[in-house]
């Protein structure tokens, strides 16, 4: 099936409308008309080949909300008309320890990413959600609660679950003191979700003007990270920090704000590594640094259901697809409130 999409043809050229061909509908597949697709910083990293793994042509987009329009003859979980979501994964080996334990994001053979992966049926690239349609195996499709505004749901499929997974995995509970570094797409969802779990949230930001928003989103305290006095005032106060920054930076000032036994969870994936942390405080205060990759399909559904119960969606700015490059530019300068979402129906596809 030939459809319209926003295509990156090279690391240095802007995304532009073009045609792509989706795989034929398989027995387990669901065809989804994309209604909204969030713009993740990973899309920008990948469009520009900042992780040196991009293959072109490339169609980004892994925060997809849409309507089912067709199903294969073995699909049991969805029917045409259902409103569904697709995140960062569209397949995995399904056999390894992690797949068997419903942690496909850590599949030993590597999960199949929604875009820039290899489609097991065609051997060609997987295509993301900056497109009119996607075709996805039903096991990698989730149900969207019916009480939430759909454009604000799209960013939950990556940004939401990427911060939800470590919050749950590391057992954050009511009363815990949680730090969030960076008020962007991931960071603002971390503030919302951690505070909805009952944690007391401290937001670290390089942008003092975001302070009022952070408090509105649920942060109890806002700390400007380049203000030495503000940083000193919150030393050894936090149980866990989620670092959502998309650029390389010094981790030591954040480690200093952790209590003994505290944990810094890195979810941002900068183009160049962070400088190594100082070992002494890690040793003498038994600190941990962890990474965390997106979240499983099970966690994604749990997070969506939690958001449905608590009325949580992303704060978004809607755009039509032809404006994607200006959205990328604003994202690079940290100027997004707090996630761009492409309105696929508003997008003009003619070149």
- Give the interface with Zn ion as residue ranges (CB under 5 A): 40, 42, 92-93, 96, 99, 107, 158
Rounded CA separation 15/32 (Å): 22
Q: Which stretch, 133-141, 216-224, 329-337, 343-351, contacts ligand NAP (CB under 6 A)?
A: 329-337
128 close to 158: Cβ distance less than 8 angstroms = no
Binding mask 29-48 for ligand NAP (x = CB under 6 A): -----------xxx--x---
Report in angstroms how near the CB of residue 345 gets to ligand NAP at its nearest.
23
**Which is nearer to Zn ion, 96 or 196 (by Cβ)?**
96
19 close to 6: Cβ distance less than 8 angstroms = no
Pairing of strands 339-343, 29-38: antiparallel
Backbone Cα Rg of the chain: 20
Q: Does 263 bind ligand NAP (CB under 6 A)?
A: no
Q: Does 336 bind ligand NAP (CB under 6 A)?
A: yes
How would you classify residue 4: left for phi > 0, otherwise alpha for psi between -120 and 50, otherwise beta?
A: beta
Q: Does 262 bind ligand NAP (CB under 6 A)?
A: no
How would you classify residue 142: left for phi > 0, otherwise alpha for psi between -120 and 50, otherwise beta?
A: beta
Q: Does 244 bind ligand NAP (CB under 6 A)?
A: yes
Interface with ligand NAP (CB under 6 A), residue from 54, 112, 205, 347: 205
- The alpha carbon dihedral of 301, 203, 214, 271 has a sign of negative
Q: Does 158 bind ligand NAP (CB under 6 A)?
A: yes
Could you list the residues that contact ligand NAP (CB under 6 A)?
A: 40-42, 45, 158-159, 162, 182-187, 205-207, 210, 244-247, 267-270, 292-294, 331, 334, 336
């Amino acid at each position: 099936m030939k459809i319209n999409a926003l295509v990156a043809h090279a690391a240095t050229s802007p995304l532009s409308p073009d045609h792509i061909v989706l795989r034929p509908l398989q027995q387990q597949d669901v065809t989804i008309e994309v209604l909204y697709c969030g713009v993740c910083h990973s899309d920008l990293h990948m469009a520009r080949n900042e992780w040196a793994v991009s293959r072109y042509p490339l169609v980004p987009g892994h925060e997809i909300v849409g309507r089912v329009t067709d199903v294969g003859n073995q699909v049991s979980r969805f029917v045409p008309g259902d409103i569904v979501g697709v995140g960062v994964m569209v397949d995995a080996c399904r056999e390894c320890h992690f797949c068997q334990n419903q942690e496909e994001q850590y599949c030993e053979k590597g999960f199949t990413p929604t875009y820039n992966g290899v489609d097991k049926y065609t051997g060609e690239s997987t295509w993301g959600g900056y497109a009119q349609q996607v075709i996805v195996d039903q096991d990698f499709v989730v149900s969207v609660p019916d009480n939430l505004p759909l454009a604000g749901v799209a960013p939950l499929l990556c940004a939401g679950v990427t911060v939800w997974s470590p919050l749950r995995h590391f057992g954050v509970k009511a009363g815990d003191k949680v730090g969030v570094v960076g008020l962007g797409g991931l960071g603002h969802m971390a503030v919302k979700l951690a505070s909805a779990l009952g944690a007391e949230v401290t937001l670290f930001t390089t942008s003092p003007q975001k302070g009022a928003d952070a408090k509105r989103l649920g942060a109890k305290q806002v700390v400007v990270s380049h203000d030495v006095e503000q940083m000193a005032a919150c030393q050894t106060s936090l149980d866990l920090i989620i670092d959502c920054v998309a650029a390389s930076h010094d981790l030591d000032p954040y480690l200093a704000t952790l209590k003994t036994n505290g944990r810094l969870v890195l979810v941002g994936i900068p183009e160049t590594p962070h400088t190594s942390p100082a070992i002494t405080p890690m040793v003498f205060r038994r600190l941990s640094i962890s990474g965390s990759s997106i979240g499983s399909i099970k966690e994604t559904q749990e997070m969506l259901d939690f958001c449905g119960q608590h009325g949580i969606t992303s704060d978004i700015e809607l755009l039509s697809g032809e404006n994607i490059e200006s959205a990328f530019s604003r994202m690079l300068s940290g100027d997004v409130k707090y996630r761009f979402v492409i309105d696929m129906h508003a997008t003009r596809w003619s070149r």
